[in-house]
Amino acid sequence: MAKTEKAKAKSKSIITDKAFQFLKNYINNPSPTGFESGGQKLWLEYLKPYTDSQFTDPYGSAVGVINPSSPFKVVIEAHADEISWFVNYISNEGLIYLKRNGGVDHQIAPAKRVVIHGKKGPVKAVFGWPAIHTRMASVDSKEPQPRVDNLFLDCGARNKKEVDALGIHVGSVATYEEGFDELAHDYYIGRAFDNRIGGFMIAEVARLLAENKKKLSYGLYIVNAVQEEIGLRGAEMIARRIKPDIAIITDVTHDTTTPMVNKIIEGDVACGKGPSLAYGPAVHNKLLTLVQETAEKHKIPVQLRAVSRSTGTDTESFAYANDGCPSVLISIPLRYMHTTVEMLHRKDIEDTIKLMYETVLTLSPKTKLSYF
Ligand SMILES: [Zn+2]
């Protein structure tokens, strides 16, 4: 595309330059499970002009509210936390052994650069791994495979005392260093788009409502929940606090078109083809139909999938935390989940924002969701 044409195409996008800048900062800022407050502060600050009020809960879930006095409450939700590692044991040689904090992937760890978040601030380290020359073949001549109990961090310290002096302690968390980048054809890569892309998208819904001067007949709660990666816990807490009437959850889902993914098991979802809507017991059928009709009306492409028992997202927390809250899951397709090169397409970001935005505009306290 020629430069002028490219500029024109970008200016038509619903993602403004300011929004895009926020997205990059937000993705590059570590937000490990249990230690999300730095990212939450960034998010709340960005969201502030588009909401009437804001609050946080004891564990750090953050909420922006439009029409806080309305009795009818709708939630749009994403999770704020990213998978990371916990420092678990420091050897006499100054090497640091770890535990998982969420489903962080041991297979991608060797030779990765990390930041350890210690008491004296961030400390750089690397996942050391034996050289190809020196890996000693075992009896069955298999090369060592990365496992949680053989992976270690090397931060330059050569004994435990030197590690301590850097402010690193048992319980410090470590996050991978790689951040946001752009590939050709409008693909983005980054660490933990799962699910900070969701936090970005729900904030964009609020921004579009404010900038387009839309009035809602109910209270809209824009919720960025903590601690999803270890069992949907933050959503559980905040769902009980808000007690919403309707919840729209957004998270990532697998693009199943890359090698070594079985479509017969995982279904058929691809980046660039629009948000994915899930069928599953926690997903309310009438609300899902409403979302599908909204997508059709506004010519937003969607892809369908089915889940067995659970979506594995905060949808369950909202559906089941109180006395039954109609909930729906709008997912964005993503390649290479839980690696440092999670990949998604700009058009899916735009279409997911649009679908949530139009759905929010369709809802009212009179929306009938009864099955009977
Ligand atoms: Zn995840």
Give the pLDDT of the chain (372 residues) as one tens digit per residue. Answer: 455 555 555 557 999 999 999 999 999 999 999 999 999 999 999 999 999 999 999 999 999 999 999 999 999 999 999 999 999 999 999 999 999 999 999 999 999 999 999 999 999 999 999 998 888 766 667 888 999 999 999 999 999 999 999 999 999 999 999 999 999 999 999 999 999 999 999 999 999 999 999 999 999 999 999 999 999 999 999 999 999 999 999 999 999 999 999 999 999 999 999 999 999 999 999 999 999 999 999 999 999 999 999 999 999 999 998 999 999 999 999 999 999 999 999 999 999 999 999 999 999 999 999 999
Whole-angstrom distance, CA of residue 251 vs CA of residue 355: 14
The C-alpha torsion from 295 through 298 and 302 to 308, rounded to 10°, is -10
Instruction: Transcribe 57-121 into DSSP letters.
Output: -TT--EEEEESTT-SSEEEEEEE--B-EEEEEEE-TTS-EEEEEESS--GGG-TT-EEEEEETTE
pLDDT at 203: 98
The pLDDT of residue 4 is 53
Distance from Cα 341 to the centre of ligand 1, integer Å: 13
CA of 316 to the centre of ligand 1 (A): 15
Q: What is the pLDDT of residue 134?
A: 86
> Ligand 1 centre from 82 Cα, in Å?
7
The model carries a pTM of 0.95
Q: In what order do the strands lie in the sheet with 187-190?
A: 181-182, 187-190, 342-345
User: What's the chain's length in residues?
Assistant: 372
CA of 103 to the centre of ligand 1 (A): 7
Residue 236's pLDDT is 97
Spacing, Cα 125 to ligand 1 middle (Å): 23
Tell me how far the alpha carbon of residue 360 lies from the centroid of ligand 1, in angstroms.
Answer: 25
Radius of gyration for the alpha carbons in the chain, expressed in angstroms and rounded? 22
Distance 46 CA to ligand 1 centre (A): 23
Q: How far does residue 194's CA lie from ligand 1's centre (Å)?
A: 5
CA of 229 to the centre of ligand 1 (A): 6
